[in-house]
A and B are shown apart, each in its own frame.
Chain A
Amino acid sequence: MMHTESLKIADKTFHSRLFTGTGKFGSNSLMETALLASGSELVTVALKRVDLANEDDDILKHLNHSHINLLPNTSGVRTSTEAVLASQLAREALETNWIKLEIHPDPKYLMPDPVETLKAAEELVKIGFVVLPYCHADPVLCKRLEEVGTAAVMPLGSPIGSNRGLEMEAMLNIIIQQSHVPVVVDAGIGAPSHAAKAMELGADAVLVNTAIAVSNNPVKMGEAFKLAVEAGRIAFESKLGKASSKAEASSPLTSFLDQ
């Protein structure tokens, strides 16, 4: 297999650029097998789903592999105050200072709240968290998050769970071009081709959950995403040719200069 550049976020190096979620699978053992097939090394898990008081929590038991890093997320919180509390709880219980910051006060479309997210990100960075914020594909917001010290930005490709792909492509392009921290396209990636496309655009990684979890064969789909992300990254590293709508055999406007 061809090797792609590894990805560094804060103090960790990842060989796989496919990050995954843990929800929606029909069972935790199916989730485990699918995530192993995907090769993912960063796996996000909702704090609200884990029984932190229980050492034998079934979700965590199935994620206990040396190459899998846990990324607890704050799904369910509606304000920055709740997000900070939830993050502290996760840090204590799961022994990681990494946090995927998700604040979506709107339970219908799960749209991230930019104001609360920025506020919480700033606070969490100050108290020592490695913060990966889920946010809108808003280039200014992403710069603001970077400025308060987030370790990456995670703009959405399209509404979460929608499987609609990169509907925010124009904004994602700007974010990728001007970001100094890794850009992880999160939400909306519904097919391996969407993931490949995000990588071709120059995203540093993608996060996929629904498309793997609810497919008819999550294990095969996990592998398909793995291959798509690798292919997209290899294509990005080897620079794609420029797309054109017509053949350009000559230079009609400047060829006179050579005569």
Chain B
Amino acid sequence: MSSFIDIFAQHEWHKTKNRIYSKTAYDVQVALGSSTRTIEDFEALISPAAEPYLEEMAQLSNAITKKRFGQTIQLFIPMYLSNECQNICTYCGFSLDVDIPRKTLNDQEILSEVEVIKSLGYDHILLVTGEANNIVGVKYFQHALKLIRPHFSHISLEVQPLDQEDYELLTPFGLNTVLVYQETYNENEYKTHHPKGKKSNFLYRLDTPDRLGRAGLHKIGLGALIGLEDWRTDSFFTALHLDYLEKAYWQSKFSISFPRLRPCAGGIDLKSNMTDKELAQLICAYRIFNEEVELSLSTRESESFRNNAIKLGITNLSADSKTNPGGYANREESLEQFEICDERSGATMAKVISAQGYEPVWKDWDSVLQ
């Protein structure tokens, strides 16, 4: 059985980083001029040497995205089911050592959230929890999916990594997509930020997309948290992961997110800052490297960046986001995982998208499909 762990073992962090930082303008020109692009081209496109080529990269990314996805942007909304967590993650507002009231939604609370979310127009929902297997485990997810499925045509899940068998127990309940971010591909740094709980097992997390692929998930979402380590090196490993997974699980679709760390309760100082210009470069680089991958941007980003990202290669946007369980029906701002930046509603985002000549897409899946 193949696993990304074997590929990962062949790449050393510091050598990779040095390679990216020694890319030249010539490497960037070669990458831009190629008709099919390799992971070495991607290294050039995310390197500092590509910065002067940003406008050219943006134009290319825009054209490629239009050809594949048309002038459309899909909208989705997260729904937090629980903020219980038995992990310590130094950057997260749900971390076990952060003293906040904990809450897990019951049936009535889930349905109240669903009602509000449906009234906002959404049809794609992302369910989120912390990692607390005894409270929010497979049984809880099955039950929640059963309640939620009749109301949405596409359901994504962003929870703790599970075993392959567990994912197989969830797909019959209408689970379409699972997002699992590696946080950082630097194993040592990972251990510093995840000292306690099941999450401290770096390789188990790294192997999760393989387990999702084997379980036959329709879509798998990847990403590295931006702020923990050098973003260029982490992005290289994300792209390497994507490249491997596409070949290994050719029936699954993939998406990439770029979560830049935001302030939260008990949060750390960031080791690596990323400017807006660099985030734009990264978005374009992913698109030029991979024409088919979905690129998703959350409300962590500012209004102005999100407005302009529509034409850079982004295909999916969340909006209206509340990052606390029960946040839609009960508008009190508390228990949040992180503060969001763009607080505009989906209806407003739809107008912003339309004004740029793009169509906001609320439904692009059907419950008849896995």
Residues of chain A having any CB pair with chain B under 8 Å: 23-28, 47-51, 76-78, 82, 85-86, 89, 105-109, 161, 163, 210, 213-214
Most buried by A among B123, B250, B365, B369: B369
Q: Kindly state whether residue B273 has any CB partner on chain A within 8 Å.
A: no
Residues of chain B having any CB pair with chain A under 8 Å: 66-72, 123, 153, 246, 250-253, 292, 354, 357-359, 361, 363-366, 368-370
B62 → chain A closest CB, angstroms: 11
Instruction: Evaluate contact between A214 and B67: CB separation under 8 angstroms.
Output: yes
Complex Cα distance A213/B71, Å?
Answer: 8
Instruction: Evaluate contact between A86 and B358: CB separation under 8 angstroms.
Output: no
Instruction: Evaluate contact between B292 and A108: CB separation under 8 angstroms.
Output: yes
Which of these, A27, A28, A49, A86, contacts B363 with CB under 8 Å? A49
Instruction: Evaluate contact between A48 and B369: CB separation under 8 angstroms.
Output: yes
Question: Which residue of the partner chain A has the closest CB to B354?
Answer: A27
Most buried by A among B68, B292, B359, B361: B359
Question: Which residue of the partner chain A has the closest CB to B357?
Answer: A26
B50 → chain A closest CB, angstroms: 25
Instruction: Evaluate contact between B246 and A108: CB separation under 8 angstroms.
Output: yes
Chain A residues within an 8 Å CB radius of B252: 107
Question: Which residue of the partner chain B has the closest CB to A76?
Answer: B369
Chain B residues within an 8 Å CB radius of A26: 70-72, 357-359
Complex Cα distance A25/B68, Å?
Answer: 12
Complex Cα distance A158/B294, Å?
Answer: 23
Complex Cα distance A106/B357, Å?
Answer: 29
Instruction: Evaluate contact between B292 and A214: CB separation under 8 angstroms.
Output: no
**Chain A interface mostly:** loop
Given A28-B359, A47-B366, A76-B366, the answer on whether A214 and B66 have CB atoms closer than 8 Å is yes
Complex Cα distance A225/B370, Å?
Answer: 36
The 8 lowest CB-CB distance pairs between A and B, nearest first, are A24-B70, A26-B71, A107-B253, A26-B357, A48-B366, A214-B66, A105-B251, A76-B369
Instruction: Evaluate contact between B250 and A106: CB separation under 8 angstroms.
Output: yes
Instruction: Evaluate contact between A161 and B358: CB separation under 8 angstroms.
Output: no
Question: Which residue of the partner chain A has the closest CB to B290?
Answer: A108
Given A27-B359, A106-B251, A107-B253, the answer on whether A49 and B364 have CB atoms closer than 8 Å is yes
Complex Cα distance A28/B363, Å?
Answer: 14
Given A24-B70, A210-B70, the answer on whether A86 and B369 have CB atoms closer than 8 Å is yes
B172 → chain A closest CB, angstroms: 14
Complex Cα distance A191/B250, Å?
Answer: 30
Complex Cα distance A155/B250, Å?
Answer: 22
Chain A residues within an 8 Å CB radius of B368: 47, 82, 85-86, 89
Question: Which residue of the partner chain A has the closest CB to B363?
Answer: A51
Given A27-B359, A85-B368, A107-B292, the answer on whether A78 and B70 have CB atoms closer than 8 Å is no
Question: Which residue of the partner chain A has the closest CB to B247?
Answer: A108
Chain B residues within an 8 Å CB radius of A78: 251, 369-370
Question: Which residue of the partner chain B has the closest CB to A48?
Answer: B366
Which of these, B67, B250, B354, B364, contacts A48 with CB under 8 Å? B364
**Cross-chain pairs A/B with CB under 8 angstroms, 24 sampled:** A24-B70, A25-B71, A26-B72, A26-B359, A27-B357, A27-B359, A28-B359, A48-B363, A51-B123, A76-B369, A77-B369, A78-B251, A78-B370, A86-B366, A89-B368, A105-B251, A107-B251, A107-B253, A109-B292, A163-B67, A210-B70, A213-B70, A213-B71, A214-B70
Instruction: Evaluate contact between A24 and B363: CB separation under 8 angstroms.
Output: no
